[in-house]
C-alpha cells in the first residue's frame, strides 16, 4: 500500500514539473508563430522569400536582427502602411516601395512573432498590446 502511494506521488510530481516547465508565455508565442506562418505565406513570402532571404537589391531580407531590434517600434507601422525611400538592411541599401498590407493588429503581432522566432530563431514574441500601441504612433 505504501509503495503504491509513493509511486503515485512520484509520478504526480514528475507530471507537474513537466507542465510547469512549459510556461504560458511559451505556449502563447508558439500559438502566435503558428498563426503568423499563415499570414507570412499570404502577405510576405512572395517578395521576402520562404526563409526571409529577400531578393537581390529589390526586396530586403528579414534576417537582419540588428535592424529588427533598432526599429522594433516601427515594424508594425511598416507592415500596416507600407514604406518607401532608402533603407539600409544587412549592409545593403534598398530603395523600393513596399505596399500597405492593411493587416489587423493581431495578424501583425502573429507575423512579427513568426519572423522573430521562426525565421530568426529569436525568443521574443510581439504581444498584441505592444503592436496596438505602436500602431497608434505611426508617422
Cell of 37: 506562418
User: Any contact of residue 96 with other proteins (CB under 8 A)?
Assistant: yes
Binding piece for other proteins, criterion CB under 8 A, among 12-20, 23-31, 54-62, 112-120: 54-62
Question: Number of residues in contact with other proteins, rule: CB under 8 A?
Answer: 12
Question: Which of 5, 18, 21, 97 is in the footprint of other proteins by CB under 8 A?
Answer: 97
131 and 109 Cβ atoms separated by less than 8 Å: yes
Query: What's the distance, CA 117 to chain centroid?
Result: 6
The binding track of 70-89 with respect to other proteins, each residue x by CB under 8 A or -, is --------------------
Closer CB to other proteins, 107 or 117, in the complex: 107
Which residues have CB under 8 Å from 80's CB, separation 6+?
100, 101, 102, 103, 108, 135, 138
Closest C-alpha to 33, from 136, 101, 97, 121: 121
User: Which of 59, 68, 114, 126 touches other proteins by CB under 8 A?
Assistant: 59
Shortest distance in whole angstroms from residue 114 CB to other proteins: 18
Q: Tell me how far apart the alpha carbons of residues 78 and 121 are, in angstroms, rounded to a whole number.
A: 21
The residue ranges that bind other proteins (CB under 8 A) are 45-47, 49, 55-59, 96-97, 99
Amino acid at each position: 500500500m505504501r509503495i503504491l502511494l509513493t509511486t503515485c506521488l512520484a509520478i504526480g510530481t514528475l507530471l507537474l514539473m513537466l507542465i510547469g516547465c512549459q510556461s504560458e508565455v511559451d505556449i502563447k508565442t508558439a500559438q502566435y508563430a503558428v498563426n503568423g506562418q499563415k499570414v507570412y505565406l499570404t502577405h510576405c513570402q512572395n517578395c521576402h522569400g520562404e526563409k526571409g532571404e529577400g531578393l537581390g537589391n529589390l526586396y530586403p531580407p528579414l534576417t537582419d536582427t540588428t535592424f529588427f531590434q533598432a526599429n522594433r517600434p516601427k515594424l508594425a507601422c511598416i507592415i500596416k502602411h507600407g514604406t518607401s525611400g532608402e533603407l539600409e538592411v544587412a549592409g545593403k541599401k534598398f530603395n523600393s516601395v513596399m505596399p500597405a498590407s492593411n493587416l489587423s493588429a493581431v495578424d501583425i503581432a502573429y507575423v512579427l512573432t513568426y519572423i522573430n522566432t521562426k525565421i530568426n530563431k529569436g525568443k521574443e514574441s510581439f504581444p498584441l498590446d505592444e503592436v496596438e500601441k505602436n500602431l497608434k504612433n505611426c508617422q
